[in-house]
A and B are shown apart, each in its own frame.
Chain A
Amino acid sequence: MTQTAQQAGRPRATRAPRRLPYLVRQLITLLVTLFAITIVIFGLTAIAGDPARDILGQYATDEQVAAFQQLHHLDQPVVVRYLEWLGGVFRGDLGTSYQSNGPVWDVISPRLGPSIVLVLLSWVLTVVVSVPIGLWSGVRLRGRRDASLTFVTLIVAAFPEFVLGLMLAILLGVWLAWLPVDSTAVSYGGLFDSPSAYVLPAITIALGTIPYIIRLMRANAREVASETYVRAAVLRGVTEPSLSLRHILPNAAPPVVTALGLQFAGLIGGVVVAETLFGFPGMGQLLAQSAASRDAPVVEALALMIGALFVVANLAADAIVVYVTPKLRDAVR
């Protein structure tokens, strides 16, 4: 049997090398991760084999297939293609779409703005709704009303975004007719010319993450509220709102901040579904369409951009967590 020191690690007499600052180390890890993502993405497309036949259809001539392969450099070895693609990325060239046969960038660029606005909107909505509710319910709410809130969050959390979006569309769009059920309008005119088209998708996306953040905030607030130091503060005469905001929130927030960074991944799912559902002309809709039509270059470019955003979001969350947690601030130096 292999014996290993389980807790403190294997006894080691050697001196470890000097360490880089925590956030620099994190950044390096994340860059490596991003690099790994590109390899995984490209590797998968390579394993899948030549898509020419699938895309052009079974009635395409051999010449058409050959032309397609040449246009997209499919006749070259995978490694060469990968390096070319990677080099292109650094030059700002994301490749050529299988479907439009034009530059990938031209396909993506008009969709960037609307998607970024949509994501920020949903993210802000998530924070302003879930953090106060979570904190309040964790510190104050007990008994039946607390159980009811839990029940509601569980139920909302279990509805896939497309179901939530559909219900919202029927309620607010069809029955009450307050909002357009179709967000195609965003593609015409300026970014903010049709604000109402953002509402339903944003609420749908936010509803996908709100229950989760409420529950996390509530659980953390409740745990901190039961700590000895909070009881000690109460017995020193500390009153609300100081108790919740100064004594509980700073200790309960860090995991939630991390989760908000990680939830960026959850938002992506929401964005893909909500954009498809409401016909919102953004990157999510494009991603789903391109995946369905097997337009690998577009998917690869989108995956890289979204992956990079995700990585940045997590790095930012890390930095905030370290900044607000005195113990970590010392530990990571």
Chain B
Amino acid sequence: MSADVLKNVTAADVPLPRQRSLRSFLAIPQGGFGVGLLLLLLALVVVGPFIAPDSPNEISDQPILGPSAQHWLGTDSYGRDILSRVLHGGASVILLPLLAVSAAMVVATLVGLVAGYLGGKVDAVVTWVINIALAIPSYLAVLVVVAAFGGGGAVVVTAVAVVYAPYITRVIRSATQAIAPREFVLAARARGESLGWILFREITPNIGPTLLVEIALRFTYAIMFIASLSFLGLGVQPPSANWGVMVAQNRALLLVSPVGVLVPALLIGVLAIAVNLIADALTQFFGDRIHERLMV
């Protein structure tokens, strides 16, 4: 694809490590704000189930009530307390994307390092597979998987991991390729260092910043993607309390009680924003330009 034609990642795009503190990271507006938001949300998700007034699937009152003193966010069409469901519904919104991204990262980092460093036939095969995988729109791929295997958390996590792995591999491979011809790697080759030493001791520490940015960015996308799939009824299945599922279910209440839809929807947005701000701050912090170059 044309991305390859224009792709001219150079060593200058792979950030060099700089001596900078956590404080200077937080001093970047995006960094401080993003970390703050994320901590707040994590607190909500962790503490939420303990402070929720009702259990998430308990039919506690009349259906479709507007906000009141008893039900701050009203009740849904089954008469469940929306606030309680919101307080319970965050864990899967965070955990499923985290699982998908972790799985994809591990595989993609290994493949990307090896293909990027060795080049030649190994790289040709990997590149070929990546190019084909990238030619399939992510939504399409995941929807095909769901059509074949049925929906649900496990299927969606696996599908998203498989769909994201080629994107991550491409980034890691390019970063590796930019580092591999650098002279300290040549020096290691001239010394006759082992493949493992070169990959993990010479190259990996230098693509660390790129990896971090990649994790944050990919996590943002995964949160949005998996939440959207849950919204479409393909991810987490009802009656589980999950913000995405709640938006889909409470959409019918839009005209009656918009708060019940808006709150879970906004929480998903805020979560993705927090991680996205962190990703952007990391990009600035390290001066990473690979992602911009590869148009991810």
Contact = CB atoms under 8 A, between A and B. Distances in A.
Answer yes or no: A and B touching, Cβ < 8 Å. yes
Interface of A: 1-7, 9-10, 26, 29-30, 32-34, 36-37, 40-41, 44-45, 47-48, 51, 54, 147, 150-151, 154-155, 157-163, 166-167, 169-170, 174, 181, 216, 219, 254-255, 258-259, 261-262, 264-265, 268-269, 272-273, 276-277, 287-288, 290-292, 294-296, 299-300, 303, 306-307, 310-311, 314, 317-318, 321-322, 328, 332
Contacts of A290: 147
Given A33-B132, A276-B232, A318-B5, 10 more contacts: A40-B136, A45-B148, A154-B276, A160-B231, A170-B262, A269-B139, A288-B233, A295-B147, A306-B140, A322-B2
B144 to A, nearest CB: 5
12 contacts: A6-B117, A51-B148, A151-B30, A159-B272, A163-B265, A166-B261, A174-B255, A181-B255, A272-B232, A299-B144, A321-B5, A322-B2
Interface stretch (B41-49, B83-91, B220-228): B220-228
A268 B145 contact: no
B177 to A, nearest CB: 8
Interface of B: 1-3, 5-6, 29-30, 117-120, 131-132, 135-141, 143-151, 177, 180-181, 185, 189, 192-195, 198, 220, 224-225, 227-228, 231-234, 244, 247, 251, 254-255, 258, 261-262, 265-266, 268-269, 272-273, 275-277, 280, 292, 295
A322 B4 CA distance: 12
Nearest to A269: B139
B181 A6 contact: yes
Chain A residues touching B, majority SS? helix
Nearest to A37: B136
Contacts of A261: 2
B268 to A, nearest CB: 6
A181 B141 CA distance: 29
B121 to A, nearest CB: 10
Contacts, number: 208
B268 A317 contact: no
Contact of A303 (B144, B189, B295): B144
A155 to B, nearest CB: 5
Given A160-B269, A160-B272, A314-B1, A3 B189 contact: yes
A317 B2 contact: yes
A220 to B, nearest CB: 8
Given A306-B140, A318-B1, A292 B254 contact: no
Contacts of B132: 32-33, 36-37
A297 to B, nearest CB: 10
B143 A265 contact: no
Contact of A166 (B141, B194, B247): B247
Q: Top 8 A-B pairs ranked by shortest CB distance? A: A265-B137, A48-B148, A158-B272, A158-B276, A318-B2, A299-B147, A269-B139, A158-B273
B118 A311 contact: no
B232 A262 contact: no
B273 A155 contact: yes
